[in-house]
């Protein structure tokens, strides 16, 4: 039986096992996908299990997407550009670190039919997923990307990789067409985003990378002020879809049943 896992800390919230095991069953594959809460020290032994063929593929989530990089034999161009690995597999005996968050985000946005081209996008947060989002936004033709993070120097660090991004103080609300919550605020139904909703206007696009809970306070409030909202569910599904396709050489369906599965 093939064995797949997602590693992270915390990991309880992850719906990856639910989605992957659903596709595994649907496609009659003899495999199992589990979640594993790990510490940084555990990365080495997990990687050697992948090399030994005891584990067939690994998804990586917060806070290890960068930390696994030194263990890889090779990075895909996407992983290299974002310095972020969320999917690990073996190819010709070599351990490959790949990133499916970039195209996951792009396909998720396309699914909800929002046109990024020439839009001003304001990102809250500067954590692991943000370089992937910036790369996807640039590819889709965003006019301007503004970033705000509680710890400002982490946002400033992103400038070393991406020129032309603008950094503003945490709590400052610039003009924008689209705003993305890429912080972990909202995972626990907490309210830590300082945004002046009344000055934002209406008809803006509010996107939350969080998909569990389904509607964060950030999205609830945006809706009350008459904005379009979307959570990170389709990004999550598309990034998983690509990992599954790489590992199993089989493209699973993304149908209503798949999409609804994550709401239960
Ligand atoms: P990491 O920063 O280790 O990559 P992450 O989950 O990818 O982890 O990122 C968490 C993001 O949420 C960060 O941008 C973090 O801001 P800091 O860099 O200042 O830590 C942000 N974040 C988490 N809790 C927050 C809070 N209560 N208020 C503001 N920002 C918060």
**pTM (2 d.p.):** 0.95
Q: Which of 37, 32, 41 is nearest to 11 (CA)?
A: 37
By alpha-carbon position, which residue is closest to atom 25 of ligand 1?
185
Output the CA–CA distances (angstroms, integers) from residue 95 to 64, 117, 212, 251, in the order listed. Answer: 16, 36, 31, 22
Task: Provide the residue count of the chain.
Answer: 264
pLDDT category at 60 given cuts 50, 70, 90 is very high
Residue from 184, 186, 187 whose mutation best tests the ligand 1 pocket (most atoms within 8 A of CB): 184
- The pLDDT, as a whole number, for residue 194 is 84
CATH tag for 103-231 (out of 3.30.9.10, 3.30.2400.10, 3.40.50.720, 3.40.50.2300): 3.40.50.720
pLDDT at 187: 81
Provide the token pair at 239.
């990034």
65 is catalytic: yes
Q: Which of 35, 65, 119, 233 is catalytic?
A: 65
Distance (Å) of CA 234 to CA 105, 110, 211, 238: 8, 10, 9, 6
Query: Does residue 246 have a pLDDT over 80?
Result: yes
Q: Is-same-fold flag (2-99+236-261; 103-231)? A: yes
> Percent of the chain scored above 70 by pLDDT?
100
What is the C-alpha end-to-end distance of the chain, expressed in Å?
Answer: 27
| Helix intervals (H) in 83-207 | 101-111, 130-139, 152-158, 197-200
Q: What kind of fold does domain 2-99+236-261 have according to CATH?
A: Rossmann fold (3.40.50)
The residue ranges of every structural domain in the chain are: 2-99+236-261, 103-231
CA of 49 to the centre of ligand 1 (A): 31
What is the spatial distance between Cα 198 and Cα 202, in angstroms, rounded to a whole number?
9
Mean pLDDT of the chain: 95
CA gap 202, 189 in Å, rounded: 23
Confidence of residue 190 (pLDDT cuts 50, 70, 90): confident
Selected residue with higher pLDDT from 30 and 12? 30
Q: Report the pocket of ligand 1 as residue ranges, CB < 6 Å.
A: 62-63, 125-129, 149-151, 154, 183-185, 192
């Amino acid at each position: 039986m093939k064995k797949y896992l997602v590693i992270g800390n915390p990991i309880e919230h992850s719906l990856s096992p639910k989605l992957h095991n659903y596709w595994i069953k649907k496609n009659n594959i003899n495999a199992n996908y589990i979640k594993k809460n790990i510490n940084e020290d555990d990365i080495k032994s997990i990687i050697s299990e992948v090399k030994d063929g005891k584990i067939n593929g690994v998804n990586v989530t917060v806070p290890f997407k960068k930390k696994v990089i030194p263990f890889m034999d090779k990075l895909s161009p996407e992983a290299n550009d974002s310095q972020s690995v969320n999917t690990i597999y073996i190819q010709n005996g070599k351990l490959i670190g790949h990133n499916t968050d970039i195209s996951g985000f792009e396909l998720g946005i396309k699914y909800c039919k929002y046109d990024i081209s020439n839009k001003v996008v304001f990102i809250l947060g500067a954590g692991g997923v943000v370089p992937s989002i910036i790369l996807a936004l640039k590819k889709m033709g965003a006019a301007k990307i503004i970033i705000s993070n509680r710890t400002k120097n982490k946002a400033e660090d992103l400038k070393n990789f991406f020129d032309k991004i603008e950094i503003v103080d945490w709590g400052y609300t610039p003009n924008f067409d689209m705003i993305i919550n890429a912080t972990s605020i909202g995972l626990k139904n907490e309210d830590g985003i300082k945004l002046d909703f009344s000055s934002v206007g209406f008809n803006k696009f509010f996107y939350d990378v969080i998909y569990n809970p389904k509607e964060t306070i950030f999205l609830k409030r945006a809706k009350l002020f008459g904005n379009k909202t979307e959570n990170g569910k389709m990004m999550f599904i598309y990034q998983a879809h690509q990992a599954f396709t790489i590992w199993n050489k089989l493209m699973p369906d993304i149908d209503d049943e798949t999409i609804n599965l994550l709401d239960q």
